[in-house]
Copies of this chain bind each other. A is one copy, B any other.
Amino acid sequence: MGKRIVIIGGVAAGPKAACRVKRIMPEAEVTLIDQDNLISYGGCGIPYYVSGDVSDEKELRSTSFHMLRDEYFFEKAKGVKTLTSTRALSINRRDKTVELENVKTGVKSLIPYDTLMLATGSKPVVLPIPGRDADGVFTISDLHKAIEIKERIARGEVGKAVVIGGGAIGIEMAEALTDLWGVETTIVEYMDQLLPRIVDWPMAEALAKHLRDHKVEVYLGEAATEIVEQNGKAVGIRTGKRMLEADMVIMAVGVRPRSQLARDAGLHVSEIGAIVVNERMQTSDPSIYAAGDCIEIRHLVTGKGFFAPLGSLANKEGRVAADNMAGIPSVFKGGIGSFIMKAFDMSIGATGLSLEAAKAQGYEADVSLTAPSDRAHFFPGSEILCLGLVFDRRTRKILGLQGIGPMNDALSVRIDAAAVAISAGAAIDVLANMEMAYAPPFSTAIDAINAAAYVAENLCDGRMRQIDLRSFFAWMADFSSRPEWIALDVRHVKQAQPFVEKYGREKWISIPYDEVRDRYRELPQDKTLIIICNAGSRSFEIQVFLDAMDRKNTLVMPGGFNLVRRMDAGLVA
């Protein structure tokens, strides 16, 4: 008989590892165990199942060749023994056995292993607030919950919903509820921005505006303090500031590693409870491997431990675990948290560190904000892509890239290219000359990512000085907060004039880009000029010119109107 390999957890890392190890080591006896009866599903597809884009939950459990990934599939097609509805109760590391319980019959049994793998995943955080157990309160923990959510909506039981949590899952669920079903949906986020720690404020603000434009209400900086119930059923939530009616409450406030089994067995787990593994996905017990949402990996930028519960990583970790269980010395070096999501007509994504995260990690971090075309501006259908390239001024290393763009793959192109560069420890100068494939229907001769690196170089080398956008918006809201500032709008007169008329010449000056060389003497010398254009590049050119003319009291508004217009509807004259 071959080696006995037991894998606990049947969603992503587990099935991937089971199939791979059986392929490499066909003589092994591989057993896949899950407490659920539905396994190997695309959990990231749940919002699209709820929205109706995916009509049947079975599609989330099927292969690309339309075969259901059930027990039969794993046994027959993959040669993997599959025990569903079976819970692992405990691990006996000395005897190398796992105690199992059939959750339907209650019958217990022992399964011996030569090598064990834990792929126990993560569980959603449930806020410890009153009403959390009321009927109508959901977390997005598994397919059963998703099916129940969809059935309630389809039965017409949900007119209003509140999503607690402005992370990716919360936002995707809000879109799903609103877009197809017309449920009046509100997102309540405790932090003062959406996608906290993932993107920085400007991108989050553009996302919030886009959601609001699509009838999703967004309340930031508000904690849900109570779920209000009537007869055991949720009817709303209370925040510090208001009461919101809701027939359904979705709690999407993050996930935690599911690691009790590992902890009970005395395996090394991190402070937040993630199983600690080495590059070969081995736990502190060399006979036990772990992969997926239950583990901690190394962050390739910071070098520190990193909890990254992402389906993309789970599969790769599972494959590396399988290789090593079968004697192939593959390694998994770590991750950087590459992320992308759809939000109505917009894509938003990030990889590596945000500016805020980078500063918190001690980097001398700065950000290049740009807003160029995603493809040749003369090509029909080109759209604006806003990018934030985070870098370290000391080492010039790229730390992260984030962006918002149209709902196509234009943002993916740049996020993924940057991810490869960041994983390799590249500097901004590498990205400046990176050869991105160019043809007008796809990109620009100077690609958006090249342009982002150019601006980063100009910032690093002290050729460009920019204004912080929060400060800019604060000033726009209250000019008296910074009486020494004045806007120099270098766009076409037709674009600038309405602003001059609205705010007055003492706040907003219009001199078109091509006239500044002749007319710069008209500019006030006692003011700080905030130079404004569409994308930031003309502003930079004017700043450099004015520097040469010894008018150095200027700041560029990075990303220009292309960016700030997406952030605040009020900024229209």
A23-B544, A445-B42 known; A415+B433 contact, CB < 8 A = no
Q: Is the CB of B372 within 8 A of A64?
A: yes
Chain B residues whose CB sits within 8 angstroms of the CB of A335 once the complex forms = 435
Closest Cβ of chain B to A564, distance in Å, is 16
Contact A513–B77 (Cβ < 8 Å): yes
Interface string of A407-449 (1 = CB under 8 A from B): 1111011011101110110100110111111111111011100
Q: Mark A52-90, 1 if CB is under 8 A from B, else 0.
A: 011000011011111100001100111100000000000
Whether the Cβ atoms of B534 and A437 lie closer than 8 Å is no
Say yes or no: A45 contacts B437, CB within 8 Å: no
A389 to B: closest C-beta gap in Å: 14
Q: How far is the CB of A315 from chain B (nearest CB, A)?
A: 5
- CB-CB under 8 A from A347, the residues of chain B are 442
Q: Is the CB of A313 closer than 8 A to any CB of chain B?
A: yes
CA distance A67 to B534 in the complex (A): 13
**Contact between B65 and A514, CB atoms less than 8 A apart:** no
Chain A residues numbered 205-239 whose CB sits less than 8 Å from any CB in chain B: none
Q: Are B434 and A379 in contact (CB-based, < 8 A)?
A: no
- A24 contact from B53, B433, B446, B463, Cβ within 8 A: B463
Q: Which of B12, B333, B433, B517 contacts A333 (CB 8 A)?
A: B433
Tell yes or no: A140 within 8 A of B by CB: no
Q: A442-B347, A538-B65 are in contact. Are A313 and B413 (CB under 8 A)?
A: no
Residues of A507-544 contacting chain B, CB below 8 A? 513-515, 517-518, 533-535, 538, 541, 544
CB pair B535 A441 closer than 8 Å = no
Shortest Cβ gap from A34 to chain B (Å): 18
- CB of B433 within 8 A of CB of A59, answer no
Q: Are A492 and B378 in contact (CB under 8 A)?
A: no
The answer to whether B517 touches A79, judged by C-beta atoms less than 8 angstroms apart, is yes
A437: which of B72, B349, B533 is its contact (CB, 8 Å)?
A: B349
Any chain B CB within 8 A of the CB of A330? yes
A42 to chain B, nearest CB (A): 6
CB distance B409 to A341 under 8 Å? no
Contacts A330-B429, A378-B48, A548-B26; A434 near B450 (Cβ below 8 A):
no
The B-contacting residues of A in range 29-63, CB under 8 angstroms, are 42, 44-45, 48, 53-54, 59-60, 62-63
A274 in the interface (beta carbon within 8 A): no
> Taking A376-B45, A378-B54, A420-B417 as contacts, is the C-beta distance between A412 and B442 under 8 angstroms?
yes
Select which of B79, B342, B547 is within 8 A of A442 by beta carbon: B342
Q: Any chain B CB within 8 A of the CB of A332?
A: yes
Determine which of B77, B330, B419, B440 lies in contact with A44 in the assembled complex, contact meaning CB atoms within 8 Å.
B440
| Min C-beta distance of A435 to chain B, whole Å | 5
Answer whether residue A312 sits at the interface, using C-beta atoms and an 8 A cutoff: yes
Among the listed B45, B378, B430, B433, which residue makes an inter-chain contact with A42, where contact means beta carbons less than 8 Å apart?
B378
Q: State the Cβ distance, A429 to closest chain B Cβ, in Å.
A: 7
**A338 CB within 8 Å of chain B:** yes
Return chain B residues, CB-CB under 8 Å to A259.
Answer: none
What residues of B have a CB within 8 angstroms of the CB of A60 in the complex? 378
Q: Of the candidates B16, B54, B426, B436, which one forms a contact with A419 in the assembled complex, judged by CB atoms under 8 Å apart?
A: B436
A556 CA / B50 CA spacing, docked (Å): 38
**A459 within 8 Å of B by Cβ?**
no
Residue numbers in B under 8 Å from A310 (CB-CB):
438
In the assembled complex, the CB of A25 is this many whole angstroms from the nearest CB of chain B, namely 9
Is the C-beta of A18 less than 8 angstroms from some C-beta in chain B?
A: no
Q: Which residue from B341, B419, B440, B454 sits with its C-beta under 8 Å from A434?
A: B419
CB of A3 closer than 8 Å to a CB of B: no
CB nearest to A16 among chain B residues: B446
In the complex, residue of chain B having the shortest beta-carbon distance to the beta carbon of A78: B541
Which residue of the partner chain B has the closest CB to A60? B378
* B residues in contact with A77, CB < 8 Å: 513-514, 517, 541
- Chain B neighbourhood of A93, CB < 8 A: none
A412 to chain B, nearest CB (A): 5
Within 8 A of B (CB), among A336-391: 336-342, 347, 349, 351, 372-373, 376-380
Q: Is the CB of B316 within 8 A of A446?
A: yes
Query: Is A181 at the interface (CB under 8 A from chain B)?
Result: no
- Specify which chain B residues have a CB less than 8 angstroms from the CB of A320 in the assembled complex: 433
Whose C-beta in chain B lies nearest to the C-beta of A312? B438
Closest beta carbon of chain B to A390's beta carbon, Å = 16
Q: Which residues of B contact A421 (CB under 8 A)?
A: 420, 424
Residues of B within 8 A of A311 (CB): 438, 445
CB-CB contacts of A391-415 with B at 8 A, as 1s and 0s? 0000000000000000111101101
| Nearest opposing residue in chain B for A77, CB measure | B514
With A and B bound together, what is the CA distance between A349 and B435 in angstroms? 13
List of B residues within 8 angstroms of A407 by Cβ: 441
Name the residue on B nearest A373 (C-beta).
Answer: B64
Q: Which of B64, B412, B463, B491 contacts A65 (CB 8 A)?
A: B491
Whether, in the assembled complex, A545 has its beta carbon less than 8 Å from a beta carbon of chain B, the answer is yes
Residue-wise interface mask of A (318-337) relative to B, using a CB-CB cutoff of 8 A (1 in contact, 0 not): 01100000001010110111
Give 6 nearest A-B pairs by CB, closest first.
A26-B548, A409-B409, A340-B437, A312-B438, A420-B420, A338-B437
**Residue contacts A-B, CB under 8 angstroms, 19 given:** A44-B376, A45-B440, A59-B378, A63-B377, A64-B535, A65-B534, A79-B517, A312-B445, A312-B446, A316-B435, A316-B450, A319-B432, A319-B454, A339-B439, A408-B409, A412-B443, A413-B416, A419-B434, A424-B424
